[in-house]
Structure formats: structure tokens, C-alpha cells
């Protein structure tokens, strides 16, 4: 609604100003979770590490809010100087923006959980009730703002810079390389470190990462649909594969990756190969995104005007290639059906094998 050149030369908001309000609402709903992602990750990660999830959420909120509290002067009683940095223990700490980050928050969550467990072993009764939460947040906060957060963010930014350099220097080979690497980044969650790079690229004219992400997601979908076709009728694997392939087509590939393709191994390899091929083609055609969105079929709305058809051709080709490679793999193994390697109905000796 707000991007020019998607439907007409001007944006829908420019043509119909009354759409500005609904467009802003959609944007806020869409970006709210992304902006506060460290809060959600802190909550869930600390719980997985054996700590209090509420302390994790509080630490994630502190990471997100710190730069803005410093700059805005929202709490004058804090007597912060602003200007994007503040002094902590005599050290000038950069006001790093942690919105949308994953790796720094996970590392901080692991440290927080370890500190909390150590304090609970040392303190008992009322002392634990009063001091464990406070000391946990204080100690973690010092480490997070002075060491862990900045270091992890700098490493993420350095990696993003390396990705840009490789892509610009190697052309079609760079596109293939980014296409092959992107699914691996999704597996580890490191693809979130590319968001800041994407925003910078979009500000400079366009991002090559978003189209590659779309091709990667469609490749996972194609492999998933092939598994659904090859799986036994009325089997759990067929139901899971068919259900996971649909959201992957629209930009959410994690269910397809972790629920199906990685477990069967070769479908994931097929998706990586297809993503690399599509990445090379996207590079040849100079397909770029001018805004963020859902990296899938509907992601065509985020592509630069005039390149939407090329984007759709690339990502659909990626899905078809992954589908075909997975089917060829099954034929070469002389099988007609696939079994779920963790299906309790499959004998251990046959788990992960193909029947035919």
C-alpha cells in the first residue's frame, strides 16, 4: 500500500490518502514483534537454559530500550547525556541497536541463566527472593552492555559486510554462494544478522538478500512437497510435509526445514542446490527488493518495480528444481515411498530408509 511502483507508478497511499491510517496499522502490527524480538527470545531462551523466563524478558527489554532511553531523555531522573552513548563504570558504551537481533540475546540469555543458578545455590529463603533477581539482572547487564552485546553485534555486522563484499566482487558466483549459504544461516538463526545489512542496502537503492531468501524458502517448499508426494499414504510424514510446505511458500521455512527436510537429509541438500541456482539467476537479472516483507510468493510486492516477474520466475524455478531433485533421489534409490525416520510406527532397522 505504501510502496510506489507495486500496483501503479505511485503508491496506493499517495493515490488514496485515507489508506495511510490502515497502512500504518498494518506496518505497526508487522514490525512490532520484530522490533521487540529480543524480549521474546530472552523469555524463551533463558527458560531453555534453566533460568527464569521473566528475567530473560526483562534483560531483552533492557537491550532494546537502552539506546532510545538514552537518546530521548524519557527519564530525566537518570541524568543520561544522550548522543547515542553513555558512560558505564568509566567506559563509554556504544548505544548499539539490538532490535531484531538473535545471537547477542541468546548469548546473554545463557550467561543470565548461569548467573541466576549460581546465585540461587548461594542464597536461600528471603535473601534469595530479594536479591537473586536484582543481582542477576545487574551482573548480566554489566556483561551484556560492556562485552557480550557489542562483541556479538560487531561480529554480526562484520559477517554482513563480508557477505556484501563477496556478492559484489564475484557476481553470479557470489549469487550462487549466498543462495547456498542462506539455508544454513536459517538453520542456525544467523540470517537475522543480515537484517541490518538489508536495511542499509534498501536505503541505498535495493537489497539482493531478500530475493535470495525468497528463493531459499521456495526451495524448501519444493523439497517438502516432493516428500509429501513420495511419503506413504495417510502417513504422519505426508501430513507434516504437506502442511509445512505451504508456509514455506509464503516465507516461513522453519517448519519445512526442521520438521521434514533436515530429518531426511537429502531433501535439504536438494533445497540448498536449488537455492544456489536461483541465487545465481537472481544475480544475473539484478533482482533487488526495495522494502522488507514476507520472503515468498507474496514477496513480489517488495521487489523493485519492473523486476517482479523475474523474481517470481527465479523463486518458482528454485521450488521446481528442489522438487525434481528430491524425486530423482527417490527414483535413484529405487523407492516409491518415504518413511519418517522418527515415526514410532517404523521399526528401528528401517528408520530413515526408503522402501520400494
pLDDT (tens digit per residue) in 250-297: 988 889 999 999 999 899 999 999 999 999 999 999 899 988 888 899
Say how many Å lie between the first and final Cα of the chain, rounded: 51
Band (50; pLDDT cuts 50, 70, 90): very high
Q: What is the pTM of this model?
A: 0.62
Contacts of residue 318, Cβ cutoff 8 Å, sequence gap at least 6: 215, 216, 218, 219, 222, 274, 275, 277, 278
Cα torsion 256, 261, 262, 267 to 10°: value is: -150
Do residues 149 and 96 make contact, with C-beta atoms less than 8 angstroms apart? yes
- What lies within 8 Å, CB to CB, of 243 at 6+ separation is 255
Question: Measured between alpha carbons, how far is 26 from 213 in angstroms, rounded to an integer?
Answer: 22
For residue range 163-204, list pLDDT tens digits in order. Answer: 778 777 888 898 999 899 999 988 887 777 677 677 667 766
Amino acid at each position: 500500500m505504501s510502496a510506489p511502483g507495486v500496483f501503479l507508478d505511485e503508491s496506493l497511499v499517495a493515490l488514496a490518502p485515507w489508506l495511510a491510517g490502515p497502512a500504518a496499522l498494518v506496518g505497526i502490527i508487522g514490525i512490532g514483534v520484530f522490533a521487540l524480538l529480543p524480549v521474546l527470545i530472552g523469555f524463551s531462551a533463558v527458560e531453555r537454559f534453566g533460568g527464569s523466563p521473566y528475567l530473560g524478558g526483562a534483560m531483552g527489554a533492557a537491550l532494546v530500550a537502552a539506546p532510545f532511553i538514552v537518546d530521548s531523555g524519557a527519564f530525566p531522573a537518570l541524568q543520561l547525556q544522550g548522543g547515542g552513548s553513555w558512560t558505564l563504570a568509566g567506559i563509554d558504551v556504544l548505544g548499539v541497536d539490538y532490535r531484531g537481533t538473535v545471537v547477542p540475546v541468546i548469548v546473554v540469555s545463557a550467561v543470565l541463566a548461569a548467573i541466576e543458578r549460581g546465585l540461587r545455590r548461594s542464597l536461600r529463603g528471603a535473601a534469595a527472593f530479594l536479591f537473586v533477581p536484582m543481582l542477576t539482572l545487574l551482573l548480566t547487564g554489566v556483561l551484556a552492555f560492556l562485552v557480550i552485546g557489542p562483541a556479538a553485534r560487531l561480529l554480526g555486522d562484520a559477517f554482513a559486510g563480508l557477505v556484501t563484499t563477496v556478492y559484489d566482487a564475484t557476481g553470479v558466483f557470489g549469487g550462487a554462494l549466498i543462495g547456498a549459504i542462506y539455508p544454513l544461516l536459517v538453520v542456525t538463526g544467523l540470517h537475522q544478522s543480515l537484517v541490518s545489512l538489508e536495511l542499509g542496502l534498501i536505503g541505498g537503492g535495493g537489497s539482493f538478500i531478500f530475493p535470495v531468501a525468497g528463493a531459499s524458502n521456495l526451495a524448501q517448499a519444493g523439497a517438502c512437497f516432493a516428500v509429501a508426494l513420495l511419503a506413504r499414504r495417510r502417513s504422519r510424514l505426508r501430513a507434516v510435509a504437506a502442511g509445512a510446505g505451504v508456509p514455506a511458500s509464503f516465507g516461513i521455512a522453519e517448519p519445512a526445514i526442521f520438521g521434514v527436510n533436515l530429518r531426511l537429509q537429502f531433501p535439504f541438500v536438494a533445497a540448498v542446490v536449488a537455492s544456489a541456482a536461483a541465487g545465481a539467476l537472481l544475480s544475473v537479472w539484478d533482482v533487488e527488493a526495495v522494502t522488507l516483507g514476507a520472503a515468498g510468493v507474496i514477496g513480489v510486492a517488495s521487489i523493485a518495480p519492473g523486476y517482479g516477474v523475474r523474481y517470481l520466475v527465479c523463486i518458482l524455478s528454485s521450488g521446481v528444481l528442489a522438487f525434481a531433485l528430491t524425486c530423482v533421489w527417490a527414483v535413484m534409490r529405487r523407492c516409491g515411498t518415504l518413511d519418517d525416520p522418527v515415526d514410532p510406527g517404523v521399526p528401528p532397522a528401517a528408520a530413515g530408509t526408503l522402501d520400494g
